[in-house]
């Protein structure tokens, strides 16, 4: 192996040339040093394959034949396939003889980016390899841009997982055991119980903690684009596919992928996800070659164990792949002893956010909060405390600031004589943004933060309701 070292700034970093002719290697190295910082040359593809593991050259030049007298390019095709199997984004230019036009055509069909014939024209070789290297750089830039955008859009998840009740102690024990492993985890629980917090805790304690945890809310993604969102697509795969785009599985490579509301994954896509998890490879929409990924999958659903076990709703072979470890989160009504700590946490959190003092909470108010069933679970309690902090201002908040509603009823429940029925919004407030926020909030509270029921009452899809919740900070 010989190599040219960088002596000045070049447009591209690395090119690999593989040919059994030393004169060809020398000529290529001297010529390509004009545009590459480093040129690695190899006399046989096996050595090149081993030496470039983990590297991402902008271009490969690969001879079609290596055995003496061979003209059918069988060896070149074999190694072309092996390099592309290892890195489907690799850019490979085949080197053929003048009489090898059919070989060149077949190489392009098998995934080669371009070809050059030997003896070559120096200008032709430089132009071909420069174009190929620019293609590779463009692919890397697009993939990195997509990944950065997905990571930037992912929420930070700073809220801790709170609770010392026996029910939560069991959850913590499962997290302790599962987190350090790479086992897939399925989290079951009602809406608002904190499934994403458990997922983040599993990631935080894992060996992947320094890498990305990328959440995907399948309940908020339109069914028509879930395939592209998860697996990515190539340019021209469908009408609006104007450029290659990586999917969430590729973006989470090396880290953790959190599939929230996995029960919403359409049946026809479940086999594709199963294949990706089993083979550790992803095939983008419209692509012919899979891309290797290294991810840990944590999934969550508000479906019950019986519903998720329904073969007509969810493939059982995929379920077995996802629930290596199964964690069931208890609803808040089954861990009432945790409510005072949750109230104190969110009281302090929103007091800081809105620059309000933290006042002691009256014992009778805390008793009312503990006695309430909280159909929306921790999420509903959090919103209730935020609302109370806002309405009370710098005064202690009371039961009148937290309208506790009976399950399925829009009317407040009178807990004691201090309870006050909340008046409806002023009818003369016609501001569309405020009216929409009130309607969404009312529907969510009425249905205990059950997204499907609230969306149905509002005449929206789940995805549309999620977008409005995000828009209004709900």
Could you report the per-residue pLDDT of 14-31, keeping only the tens digit for each? 999 999 889 999 999 999
How much is the pLDDT for 184? Answer: 94
Q: How many domains are there within the chain?
A: 4
Structure tokens at 295: 């991810």
- pLDDT at position 31, please? 92
Local confidence band at 259 (pLDDT 50, 70, 90 cut-offs):
very high
Nearest to 132 by CA among 206, 32, 225: 32
116 & 9 share domain: yes
What is the model's pLDDT at position 413? 41
Phi and psi at residue 88, in whole multiples of 5°?
-60, -20
Contact (Cβ atoms closer than 8 angstroms) between residue 420 and residue 413: no
Which DSSP letter does residue 436 get? H
By residue range, what is the domain housing residue 387?
333-421
Retrieve residue 169's tokens: 């102690």
Query: SS3 letters for 165-228?
Result: CHHHHHHHHHHHHHCCCCCCEEEECCCCCCHHHHHHHHHHCCCCCCCCEEEEECCCCCHHHHHH
Give the C-alpha separation, 329 to 305, whole Å: 12
The answer to whether residue 450 is domain-embedded is yes
Indicate whether 154 belongs to any domain: no
In eight-state DSSP terms, residue 367 is H
Other beta carbons within 10 Å of 2: 13
Give the global pTM. Answer: 0.59
Classify residue 112 as exposed, middle or buried by CB count within 10 Å of its CB (0-12, 13-18, 19+): buried
**Does one domain contain both 451 and 349?**
no
User: Are 385 and 415 found together in one domain?
Assistant: yes
Q: Which pLDDT band, with edges at 50, 70 and 90, does 419 fall under?
A: very low
pLDDT in the model for residue 225? 84
What CATH number does the domain containing 184 carry? 3.40.50.300
CATH number, domain containing residue 82: 3.40.50.2300
Q: Is residue 153 part of a domain?
A: no
Please give the mean pLDDT across all residues of the chain.
Answer: 83
Q: Which of 58-62, 105-109, 252-256 has the lowest mean pLDDT?
A: 105-109
Sheet-wide strand order for 114-118: 2-4, 36-42, 12-18, 59-63, 92-97, 114-118
Q: Element (H or E) spanning 92, and its range?
A: strand 92-97
What mean pLDDT comes out for the span 41-58?
91
| Cα(22)–Cα(406) distance, integer angstroms | 84
Q: Report yes or no on 148 lying in a domain.
A: no
DSSP state of 294: -
The answer to whether 389 touches 397, Cβ cutoff 8 Å, is: yes
pLDDT in tens, 303-345: 988 889 888 889 999 999 999 999 999 999 999 999 999 999 9
Q: Which residues contact 123 (CB under 8 A, 6 or more apart)?
A: none
- pLDDT over 90 (residue 258): yes
pLDDT band at 425 (very low <50, low <70, confident <90, very high): very low
Shared domain for 64 and 195, answered yes or no, is no
CATH number at residue 391: 1.10.8.60
Q: Are 299 and 382 found together in one domain?
A: no
The pLDDT value given to residue 159: 66
Assess contact for 224 and 205: CB atoms under 8 A: no
Alpha helix (H) residue ranges in 333-419? 339-353, 363-371, 377-392
Interacting residues of 452 by C-beta distance below 8 A, sequence separation 6+: 462
CA nearest 177: which of 202, 211, 212?
A: 202
Domain stops at, among 330, 359, 379: 330
CB-CB contact of 271 with 315 (8 Å): yes
pLDDT digits (tens, 9 = 90+) for 261-278: 999 899 999 999 999 999
Strand partners, 97: 118
Q: What is the pLDDT of residue 149?
A: 54
The residue that leads in pLDDT, 380 or 221, is 380
The pLDDT assigned to 146 comes to 54
One domain, residues 294 and 210 = yes
The pLDDT of residue 7 is 42
- pLDDT per residue as tens digits for the range 348-378: 999 998 899 888 888 889 999 999 999 889 9
Shared domain for 193 and 313, answered yes or no, is yes
Structure tokens at 228: 């592209």
Q: Is residue 54 part of a domain?
A: yes
**pLDDT given for residue 69 in this prediction:** 67
Q: State the greatest distance between any 2 C-alpha atoms of the chain, in Å, as a whole number.
A: 99
- How buried is residue 304: exposed, middle or buried, by Cβ count under 10 Å (0-12/13-18/19+)? middle
Closest residue by Cα to residue 81 from 92, 95, 70, 71: 92
Instruction: Please tell me whether residues 354 and 231 are part of one structural domain.
Output: no
Other CB atoms within 10 A of residue 16 CB: 25
Summarised one tens digit per residue, pLDDT across range 279-308 is: 999 988 888 888 889 999 999 999 988 889
Distances (CA, A) of 415 to 76, 346, 368, 391, 398: 80, 21, 6, 19, 11
Q: Which of 79-83, 171-175, 245-249 has the lowest mean pLDDT?
A: 245-249
If one compares 441 and 6, the residue with the highest pLDDT of the two is: 441
**Residue 454 included in any domain:** yes
pLDDT band at 409 (very low <50, low <70, confident <90, very high): very low
Instruction: Name the residue among 401, 390, 391, 408 with its Cα closest to residue 445.
Output: 408
In Å, how far are 27, 230, 233, 249, 302 from 225, measured between CA atoms? 49, 9, 10, 14, 22
Q: What is the mean pLDDT of residues 240-251?
A: 83
Which pLDDT belongs to residue 420? 36
For 93, the 3-state DSSP assignment is strand
Decide which of 233 and 426 is more confident: 233
**Most confident segment among 54-58, 325-329, 429-433:** 325-329
Tokens of 402: 């937290």
Q: Is residue 31 part of a domain?
A: yes
Under DSSP, the state recorded for 334 is G
The pLDDT tens digits for 120-171 are 888 889 988 988 888 887 766 665 555 555 545 445 545 678 888 999 999 9
Whether residue 152 lies inside any domain: the answer is no
Does residue 381 register a pLDDT over 90?
yes
Q: Assign residue 451 the CATH number of its domain.
A: 1.10.10
Whether residue 414 has pLDDT greater than 50: no
**What is the model's pLDDT at position 201?**
92
Residues 416 and 324 in one domain: no
pLDDT of residue 9 exceeding 60 = yes
Residues 101 and 86 in one domain: yes
Note whether 418 and 399 are within 8 A (CB): yes
Domain match, 273 and 203 both: yes
Distance (Å, whole) CA 405 – CA 447: 10
Which neighbouring-strand residues pair with 259? Answer: 216, 299
Q: What is the pLDDT of residues 71-114, one digit of tens each?
A: 778 889 999 989 988 887 789 999 887 556 778 788 888 888 88
325 shares a domain with 337: no
Element (H or E) spanning 106, and its range? helix 101-109
Residue 129 has a CB neighbour count (10 Å cut-off) of 27
Radius of gyration of the chain (CA): 29
């Amino acid at each position: 192996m010989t190599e040219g070292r960088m002596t000045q700034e070049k447009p591209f970093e690395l090119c690999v040339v593989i040919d059994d002719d030393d004169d060809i290697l020398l000529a290529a190295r001297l010529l390509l040093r004009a545009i590459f910082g480093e040129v690695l040359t190899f006399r046989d593809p096996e050595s090149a394959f081993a030496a470039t593991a983990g590297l991402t050259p902008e271009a490969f030049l690969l001879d079609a034949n290596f055995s003496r007298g061979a003209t059918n390019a069988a060896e070149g095709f074999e190694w072309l396939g092996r390099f592309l199997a290892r890195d489907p984004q690799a850019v490979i230019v085949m080197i053929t003889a003048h009489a090898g036009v059919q070989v060149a055509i077949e190489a392009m069909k098998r995934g080669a980016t371009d070809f050059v014939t030997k003896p070559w024209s120096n200008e032709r070789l430089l132009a071909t390899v420069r174009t190929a290297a620019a293609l590779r750089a463009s692919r890397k830039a697009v993939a990195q841009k997509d990944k950065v955008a997905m990571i930037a859009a992912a929420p930070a998840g700073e809220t801790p997982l709170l609770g010392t009740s026996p029910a939560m102690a069991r959850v913590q024990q499962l997290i302790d055991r599962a987190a350090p492993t790479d086992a897939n985890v399925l989290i079951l629980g009602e809406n608002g119980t904190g499934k994403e917090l458990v997922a983040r805790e599993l990631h935080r304690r894992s060996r992947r903690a320094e890498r990305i945890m990328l959440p995907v809310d399948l309940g908020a993604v339109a069914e028509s684009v879930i395939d592209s969102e998860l697996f990515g697509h190539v340019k021209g795969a469908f009408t609006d596919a104007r450029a290659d785009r990586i999917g969430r599985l590729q973006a989470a490579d090396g880290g953790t992928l959190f599939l929230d509301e996995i029960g919403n994954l359409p049946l026809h896509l479940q086999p594709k996800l199963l294949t990706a998890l089993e083979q550790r490879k992803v095939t983008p929409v419209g692509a012919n070659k899979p891309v290797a990924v290294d991810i840990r999958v944590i999934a969550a659903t508000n479906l019950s164990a019986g519903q998720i076990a329904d073969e007509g709703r969810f493939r059982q072979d995929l379920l077995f792949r996802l629930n290596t470890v199964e964690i069931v989160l208890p609803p808040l009504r089954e861990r009432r002893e945790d409510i005072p700590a949750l109230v104190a946490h969110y009281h302090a959190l929103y007091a800081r956010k809105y620059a309000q003092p933290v006042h002691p909470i009256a014992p009778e108010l805390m008793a009312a909060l503990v006695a309430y069933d909280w159909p929306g679970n921790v999420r509903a309690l959090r919103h209730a405390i935020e609302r109370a902090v806002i309405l009370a201002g710098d005064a202690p908040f009371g039961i009148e600031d937290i309208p506790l509603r009976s399950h399925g009823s829009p009317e407040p429940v009178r807990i004691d004589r201090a309870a006050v029925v909340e008046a409806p919004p002023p009818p003369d407030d016609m501001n569309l943004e405020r009216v929409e926020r009130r309607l969404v909030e009312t529907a969510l509270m009425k249905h205990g933060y059950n997204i499907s029921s609230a969306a149905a009452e509002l005449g929206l899809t789940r995805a549309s309701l999620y977008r409005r919740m995000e828009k209004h900070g709900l």
